[in-house]
Structure 1
């Protein structure tokens, strides 16, 4: 009851719709930008009035598990960022499995400092974990698409691994034929790992889907860890559209183990699932190798996903 009341008060205070009956701990935070040689919070997170935007709207999201457990996290994430910059016209970047060394390198990267707003200014949101999720929003995207940054917050999930959902809202003008503003909710996730029964992933995605429905439009993307048979249905069971199966139903779309160098079969661990948005293109982004102790090391054990989506 108290958690539900807290959610309602937070929804009103931050001007963002939240599901009234979701018993989840919500922690609002601030967007950060780089200025005068350091990362600092933006003055405000609430959306501002924006100019009319042509219909339909279009954005590209890239999601990538950056592999917290491998050596050389700094050089690896630098190589990953170079790949995203070269291969994708990303408006939104979701990263999972970002450890403390990687977040320091990420925040020191000139491209990130110059062109992106970050959910993090340091590693203070990691809590008990040695890694966390990070969301980046392009400054150019906001300007070109007449979009405002809305609130950003974390929702603690029922989890064996202290996982959460990193949620944020973007606010854009609707088409001239409609009134008001369209709110697009973006949720970055790293669902529970391993084939442990009973699985917490169905409950986790159910909670996440309720946040998307409360906003009206949105997506959840990241590492879904679908390693049990029941995981095959949790996207559709929650009324969401799996962008990969929608656009490429005959393609397995493996994002992990595709080279056959893992002890488990290849799997499509990473997904983009949408609510009231239309996927128009999705593709896999490949890794490259860096040098570590005179050997070649892939910069992640996951491949990335780039998904373009539209809305009216």
Structure 2
């Protein structure tokens, strides 16, 4: 059995199962403290792969029709590609998970972290990853943030590398809105600390970067920003991921924002490419599409966010003769940066309750 909302401890990694499809059913697989790769998978010394992250707005109506079109678009982005693609999803609902489980291309090529909502704190939405079957998974875990009023967490998946090392993947949806003191610094610092304990780490998700301090958070947490590392510039329209597909009123009030990011750490990782996706993807069901276009929403977009995609290569050097292997959970822990210590301590000590005097709106209450 795995921890559920009744047994996990806030601020500690809680192991959970992942799910694989065989014999017509989705089956739970215990990955905790296991070095057994997924079926047919081996630990590669050099691995090239892609990471896609997308927030599918849970608040817009016609959820099933929107998710069906989003899944079709994702299939077109990963099918037939020469490298495996990890898919990180934010604001998933129970019905979204059902559609994911029904998709033939997911059943054939992917394991999924969540087949139900058992490990989510929120009853409304949560995070999920689709992990290629070719990747040897060793651990799946979830970190429920200590300082959150929106049930936010970080979902981790470890991929086995030679010598007992791991590539650690994380998807997260950081706190929305503006509060004083802010919650996002402590949340990202907590996720980054776990990433930096692995041989290489990658984080993707809706980071709700809506304030000036958000721009510096990745660097303060020891993480590199794939968009910037790939030559992008902060503030350029080409990097924005929110606002293009929101209602015109929100777009005029808040402008465009680079809310969604892919961050990484570890000298073994090499960034090969970065791009956005999802621009102009519309609901294909005509009835649902007609019902979606109301108020100031000009088109039946599947979500208000664009997705982000990065391609990486991770390499593990040959072991020197007589060198001891690094076992799971024994990778050297990188010291926290001063900013991480500060944000962690602030996050654990403050309740950061909302008040009318400190609360300001963000582009979306769910963004």
Please state which band the TM-score falls in when normalised by the shorter chain.
0.7 to 0.9
Cα separation, partners in 2 of 1:168 and 1:51, compared to 1, 3 Å:
closer
Q: Which runs of 5+ in 1 are unaligned?
A: 1-21, 174-179
Unpaired segments of 5 or more residues in structure 2?
A: 1-8, 294-298, 316-367
**Residues 48, 148 of structure 1: 8 Å contact kept:** yes
Q: Give the corresponding residue for 1:150.
A: 138
Larger strand proportion of the pair: 1
Partner of 1:116: 110
Superposition deviation, residue 43 in structure 1? 5.2
Identify the range of structure 1 (251-260 vs 281-290) with the bigger mean alpha-carbon deviation. Answer: 251-260
Give the match for residue 21 of structure 2. 34
In 1, Cα distance between equivalents of 2:115 and 2:24: 12
Q: Does residue 276 of structure 2 align to residue 284 of structure 1?
A: yes
TM-score (normalizing by structure 2): 0.71
1:103 is the counterpart of 2:97: yes
Matches within 5 A, 1:71-220: 71-88=61-78, 89=81, 91-139=85-133, 142=134, 147-157=135-145, 158-173=147-162, 180-220=163-203
- 1:38 is displaced (CA, Å) by 2.2
Moved over 6 A (4+): none
In the other structure, the counterpart of 1:25 is: 12
2:294 maps to 1:306: no
Partner of 1:53: 44
Counterpart of 1:223 (choices 203, 206, 210) is 206
Q: Does the C-alpha gap of structure 1 residues 171 and 293 become closer, same or farther in structure 2, counting only changes over 3 Å?
A: closer
1:52 Cα deviation after fit = 6.6
Give 1 or 2 for the bigger CA radius of gyration.
Answer: 2
Q: CA deviation at 1:107?
A: 1.5
In 2, are the aligned partners of 1:40 and 1:121 still within 8 Å (CA)?
no
Asked whether the equivalents of residues 61 and 308 of structure 1 are also in contact (C-alpha less than 8 Å), the reply is: yes
When the two chains are superposed, the root-mean-square deviation of aligned CA atoms in Å is: 2.1
Q: Is the 8 A contact 1:63 1:306 kept in 2?
A: yes
Q: Distance in 2 between matches of 1:130 and 1:220?
A: 23
TM-score (norm 1): 0.83
Please tell me whether the aligned partners of residues 171 and 205 of structure 2 are also in contact (alpha carbons under 8 angstroms).
yes
Equivalences, count = 278
CA distance in 1 between counterparts of 2:255 and 2:10 reads 36
**CA separation in 1, counterparts of 2:262 and 2:190?**
16
